[in-house]
Amino acid sequence: MPFLKVACQDFRNLSEVQLEPHPRFNIIEGNNGQGKTNLLEAVAMLATLKSFRGARAREMVRFGCDQALLHAQVERRGITRDIGLAITSKGTKAELDGKPLRRLSATAGHINVVVFGPDHLKLTKESPDIRRQWMDRSIFNVWPSFLDEARAYVSALKSRNKLLRMGSAPGAPPPDPQMLAAFDEEWVRRAARVVWRRLSFLATFRPLFEQVLLDMTDGQLSGAIAYHGLGKVDESVSEDELGERLAQGLEDKRETDLSRGYTGSGPHTHDLAFSLDGRSVRRFASQGQHRAFVLALKIAEMARIEQATGVFPVMLLDDISSELDESRNAHLMRYLDTAGGQVFITTTDRRWIKVDQGTGNSQTYTVSDGVVSG
């Protein structure tokens, strides 16, 4: 099981927590505002080194304290490791087995987590950056090296934009053509890698998703996912071909980029289009269909990680049962009951969590005013 021990000190409203989690279901019960999500966030931080709520470091330190400390003992394929985090107003420092850990990708070989909370229901409704973030995080869980590849693209994008801004200032001369060409070449190389990874991921993810959605809806809903931003493109396209297409996109928008001072095309503008029976989910789906679609995405995400790594990821569910209708919640619970892996679930009502039907495969914790018992 991944998490053998979890400890928190002065993390948000959690003054001190010591847990030895159950290898299967860890049900975290309590009223709203007591610290349930904080505990889930701490578990996720120990796996990903970042907050799934997008919080700044100083926001995670208990009021009146100088730092928050997190620690976990994790196990994978018989190997036990220790992960520690110290969080201050200046940032986060991580250690693996007592040695400084500076790269998020270094934790990927030890533990994978999938988080599912109410905010994920925005995937089908809101802006493209939410879908890009979800897709890129899912890719990282399958191919950890993607994190460095994505960061290299962002660096190339920032460098190109800086050059464009210098040339777009009033009275400023245009960028040197040779310098811009060199920046373009680096940008294209990095961008082609990111898009190739995304398309490769979707080629393997889509069949899993489509089957999960069909199963969940008894064959009533057929879902589809399309990559938008490059026009019609075959997912078996090579990186070189993607580079040619991306380079042409830069060329087509060069004058616009020069006048505006930023790069208006590329992976940072791309999107995923979700559809049900050929109709846009965003425009035509009912509330229940939106939720079914997102639930299918998350279950398929878990299945894809297991397929890639041979290990079921740790699932972190933040009060999602109360957001799903009865049939969707029942489907999720059946899946979790049969799939295996360690699960942490927060809830305001234990009766929502219909897993572990008397088998003893769970531990229930109660959270009240930052104190965890159970």
Residue 372 above 70 pLDDT? yes
- CA dist 351 → 31, 37, 321, 326 (Å): 14, 18, 10, 12
CA distance 311 to 305: 7
pLDDT of residue 319: 87
> Helix-strand-coil percent breakdown of the chain, rounded to 5?
45, 25, 30
pLDDT of residue 239: 95
- CA dist 49 → 87, 119, 140 (Å): 10, 20, 14
pLDDT digits (tens, 9 = 90+) for 8-59: 999 999 999 999 999 999 999 999 999 999 999 999 999 888 898 889 999 9
- Domains, the chain, ordered by start: 1-112+311-374 (3.40.50.300), 121-310 (1.20.1050.90)
Residues in the chain: 374
pLDDT of residue 109: 52
CA distance 69 to 84: 7
pLDDT digits (tens, 9 = 90+) for 302-350: 999 999 988 889 999 998 887 888 888 888 888 888 878 899 999 998 8
pLDDT digits (tens, 9 = 90+) for 163-210: 999 877 777 788 888 999 999 999 999 999 999 999 999 999 999 999
Amino acid at 194: V
Residue 2 above 90 pLDDT? no
pLDDT of residue 310: 87
Residue 356 above 70 pLDDT? no
pLDDT of residue 341: 87
Mean of per-residue pLDDT scores for the chain? 90
